[in-house]
Amino acid sequence: MSTTKKNKRTVWFGMKLTPEQKEKIRTLARRRGVSQKQAVLDLVEQEVNEDPIEAKPGSLLDLNRDLFGSGNGPGDASTNPRYMKGFGR
């Protein structure tokens, strides 16, 4: 199932594939009766929804779990224009 709506902004996402990879996508799409694009998007959606991120024991995520959400400020540092100044140069 697609989560794409007609009124959402879209961006170009291109990638190079080997002929074998492209054929696998064609085969998958034919088996499912959908477009090649939809076959890939459905698999991405399924993977993201089914596999929550698990913290490995001793990882930075695991060791700091109790601190998440305890600070004040924006949830994303990129909301500060100074932080993004010069990004991509």
Q: What are the per-10-residue average pLDDT scores of the chain (89 residues)? A: 62 92 96 96 88 81 80 68 71
CB half-sphere exposure, 46, CA atoms < 13 A: 7
The per-residue pLDDT for 89 is: 73
Rg of the Cα atoms in the chain: 20
Contact partners, residue 56, CB within 8 Å, separation at least 6: 62
Helix (H), strand (E), coil (C) string for the chain: CCCCCCCCCCCCCCCCCCHHHHHHHHHHHHHHCCCHHHHHHHHHHHHHHHCCCCCCCCCHHHHCHHHCCCCCCCCCHHHCHHHHCCCCC
Q: pTM for the full model?
A: 0.49
